[in-house]
A and B are shown apart, each in its own frame.
Chain A
Amino acid sequence: MTKLLKLVHGIYPKTEKLRVRIGRWERGIMPAKDLNDLIQDEVDSFEKNALDLNIDSYTDPLFNWFDIFRPLSVIAKGIELGPLTRFGETNTFYRLPELKGELGMDAKPSEYSEIEENLPLPLYHVGDFSRAVAFFPGPETFYTMALDIAGKGFEAFSGDLGKYYSSIISSFRFRKLLIFEAVQLKSPQPLAFYSHLPVENTILFTTGPLNDGLFSGIKGKFHSILSTPAGNNLEIAAKHSLIPGVEILNGNNTKLENPVEVRSKLLELGTKYNLDRLYVTNTNYLDFLPRPIADRKLEILSKVGE
């Protein structure tokens, strides 16, 4: 029988307490250090809950990221923040990264520090590196959702981004990283990007249909390729990764999935493709949902994998 591995990724919605405290910090009536301590407490409690629910892997809940590009843009040389921009077809907005020059590191990402236009660093707060995974927006998503003012082009930007992410990872003790591609992949995975990052330790979150051409040139297999179970996505993901994954818990709708039905569907897929292990994860990240619903979805994820 296929073993189902539970993975939750991306920005996780904040508690009301944290939202209120961030408001206080914004108004200058709560010190940044105290806010960082609270964020650490909230991350600790997220990790404890994930452990209790037997979640196999999770990314940092990113409680101090205003959007998936923000702190990465703020602490980078060569990127400036542009206007608020709609995130895909959602009703959530992010600050447009404007690519203006050579990409480089302008901070110590693992240490506490106050930065402009975002909550204080460190970039990640998780402590259990046997389960926690680093989260990064993918090169195609970053490039597509940014404005290339310098005219660098996708390939060159991808190389710089891989190097930049590599320098961030070296400041932490993560064993794996998750590359989040929110846009439908059109280009083959950029070799320039993966020349700086370990493909075998990378979980690639994808959007839309997959084809073999997207992985041409990549040496070795990804640790995992996550995709929706539509078409022949799972077959392609299994071909190019060690453990394929299925995006099945809806991050865009409050409707709660039936864990028995989900489990049965996944086991059926596992048998069909002769898989010994299969990741099961959320579609979009759960920050698009109210926190109580995200917590319920996490419980469902836990039950799916029992």
Chain B
Amino acid sequence: MQEKTLITQEIGSFRKPEYLSRKFHTIEGKKEFYDLAKKATVETIGLFENAGLENLGVGGEMFRWEMYEHLAANVEGLEFYGMVRSFDNRYYKKGSVVGPIQRRSPFHLDELEFLLSNSKGKLKVPVTGPYTMMDWSFNEHYGDRLELANAYADAINHEVRELKKAWEKVRGDEVLEIQIDEPAATTHPAEMDIVVESVNRSFEGIGNIEPTIHVCYSVDYRYLYNTLPDLKVQGLNLEYANRDRHSRGVDVEKRPGYADLKAFSEVNQTLSKPKFIGLGVTDVHIDFIEPVDLIRDRIETAVKLIGDPDLVRVNPDCGLRTRSRETGLEKLKNMVLATEIVRKNF
């Protein structure tokens, strides 16, 4: 049961201050890095609180550079041979799995421990998902893609257990929110069973946590919705604003970006324990600050389609690290204001 309707939350990353981003790679792992990452985290939490955000995530992922590389750097079994093109002249490091995947060192423990000693607010820890790690790696070692995804899942499960221990020391029996980031989840529609099995395995045997999944820029979310009966997460934090219009209105025709929530709702209604949607209401790829009334219309449309405001949380489409900190703050502020307006109607 949620304690509040329409909780506002961050998805994960937020633009790093320049004093950290400029030096990140040269000082990573050294004392100066931790000093600057902590400073940036405190400042970003302050910024989120200033925007009125209820769930502070991990303060904008100041300890991490990139979702794939961060996890990859902390597991055994991966080799990096060079950069691979993402698009145009943008490249990323894609690892090759050359041996058994095993957690070598904690992925996010330092980040969480710091947050726990510096914030009493609601937190949510994003962890890159096993399917995405598998899909974004070359596989030279495992027999098939399921086997590799499950190997990543075991490493993630190990990490979540360690996070849980650190969490319990400070927060006792409060539920730990873990968001599995799976941008690749619907890339290969024929492999949704691998997504389900590996994501479930990442949480297997770990109690008192709230697992969620974040997916973005999917060609068709229905592949994901259809897995709801088997996917052991409590909510889906998804991108929608990017595919929506800027005109106003709460009809599905006026809000094409949110139309497929009908398909979500149809599956969700068949579940004994329905899942919630973390609703992307602000586009992280444009500087346009969505006005409050536009975001309000988006939330109202979603609530209408889902039928229960307790099953809706409100967030940006994806991590806001793509925008400047100033633009990110303005987007979050409007998101919070719009949510408050919608809340008053219930």
Do the beta carbons of A254 and B85 come within 8 Å of each other?
no
- Residue in B88, B140, B219 whose CB lies within 8 Å of A255: B140
Do the beta carbons of B138 and A16 come within 8 Å of each other?
no
Do the beta carbons of B187 and A86 come within 8 Å of each other?
yes
Inter-chain contacts of A107 with B (CB < 8 A): none
| B87 at interface, CB cutoff 8 A | yes
- Residue in B86, B89, B139 whose CB lies within 8 Å of A22: B89
Q: How far is the CB of A284 from chain B (nearest CB, A)?
A: 12
Do the beta carbons of A289 and B84 come within 8 Å of each other?
yes
State whether A93 and B87 are in contact (beta carbons under 8 Å apart), knowing that A253-B138, A254-B81, A292-B82 are contacts in the complex: yes
Q: How far is the CB of B91 from chain A (nearest CB, A)?
A: 6
Q: How far is the CA of A139 from the CA of B84 in the complex (A)?
A: 27
Residue of A nearest to B187 (CB): A89
- Residue in A19, A67, A253 whose CB lies within 8 Å of B83: A19
Inter-chain contacts of A290 with B (CB < 8 A): 81-84, 94
| B223 at interface, CB cutoff 8 A | no
- Residue in A16, A22, A84, A253 whose CB lies within 8 Å of B140: A253
- Residue in B89, B135, B219 whose CB lies within 8 Å of A91: B135
For B82, B139, B187, the residue with the greatest tally of chain A CB atoms inside 10 Å of its CB is B82
> Chain B contact residues (Cβ within 8 angstroms of A): what range?
20 to 34
| A92 at interface, CB cutoff 8 A | yes
Q: Which of A229-253 contact B (CB under 8 A)?
A: 252-253
Q: How far is the CA of A67 from the CA of B81 in the complex (A)?
A: 22
Q: Which of B223-260 contact A (CB under 8 A)?
A: none
Inter-chain contacts of A291 with B (CB < 8 A): 82
Do the beta carbons of B219 and A19 come within 8 Å of each other?
no
State whether A16 and B89 are in contact (beta carbons under 8 Å apart), knowing that A253-B139, A255-B138 are contacts in the complex: no
Q: How far is the CB of B257 from chain A (nearest CB, A)?
A: 14
> Chain A contact residues (Cβ within 8 angstroms of B): what range?
20 to 34
Q: How far is the CB of A69 from chain B (nearest CB, A)?
A: 12
State whether A19 and B91 are in contact (beta carbons under 8 Å apart), knowing that A86-B219, A93-B86, A253-B139 are contacts in the complex: yes
What does the 1/0 interface line of B70-95 toward A look like (CB < 8 Å)? 00000000000111111111010010
Inter-chain contacts of B96 with A (CB < 8 A): 254-255
| B188 at interface, CB cutoff 8 A | yes
For A16, A23, A91, A287, the residue with the greatest tally of chain B CB atoms inside 10 Å of its CB is A91
Inter-chain contacts of A22 with B (CB < 8 A): 89
Inter-chain contacts of A252 with B (CB < 8 A): 138
What does the 1/0 interface line of B136-157 toward A look like (CB < 8 Å)? 1011100000000000000000
Q: How far is the CA of A94 from the CA of B86 in the complex (A)?
A: 9
What does the 1/0 interface line of A67-91 toward B look like (CB < 8 Å)? 1000000000000000010100101
| B184 at interface, CB cutoff 8 A | yes
Residue of B nearest to A22 (CB): B89
| A66 at interface, CB cutoff 8 A | yes
For B135, B138, B187, B219, the residue with the greatest tally of chain A CB atoms inside 10 Å of its CB is B138
Do the beta carbons of A91 and B184 come within 8 Å of each other?
yes
Do the beta carbons of A23 and B89 come within 8 Å of each other?
yes
Do the beta carbons of A91 and B82 come within 8 Å of each other?
no
Inter-chain contacts of A23 with B (CB < 8 A): 89
Residue of B nearest to A255 (CB): B140
| A97 at interface, CB cutoff 8 A | no
Q: Which of B174-218 contact A (CB under 8 A)?
A: 184, 187-188
State whether A287 and B187 are in contact (beta carbons under 8 Å apart), knowing that A91-B135, A91-B136, A255-B140 are contacts in the complex: no
Q: How far is the CA of A115 from the CA of B153 in the complex (A)?
A: 46
Inter-chain contacts of A292 with B (CB < 8 A): 81-82
A sample of 15 more A-B contacts (CB under 8 A), given A22-B89, A86-B187, A254-B140, is A66-B89, A84-B87, A91-B86, A91-B94, A91-B136, A91-B184, A91-B187, A92-B84, A92-B85, A92-B87, A255-B96, A290-B82, A290-B94, A291-B82, A292-B81
Binding site for A on B (CB under 8 A): 81-89, 91, 94, 96, 135-136, 138-140, 184, 187-188, 219
Binding site for B on A (CB under 8 A): 13, 16, 19, 22-23, 26, 66-67, 84, 86, 89, 91-94, 252-255, 287-293
- What 6 pairs between A and B have smallest CB-CB spacing? A290-B82, A93-B87, A255-B140, A254-B96, A290-B81, A254-B138
**What are 30 A-B pairs at a CB distance below 8 A?**
A13-B82, A13-B84, A13-B85, A16-B82, A19-B91, A22-B89, A67-B87, A67-B88, A84-B87, A86-B187, A86-B219, A89-B187, A91-B135, A91-B187, A92-B84, A92-B85, A92-B87, A93-B87, A94-B87, A252-B138, A254-B81, A255-B96, A255-B139, A288-B84, A289-B84, A290-B81, A290-B82, A290-B94, A291-B82, A292-B81
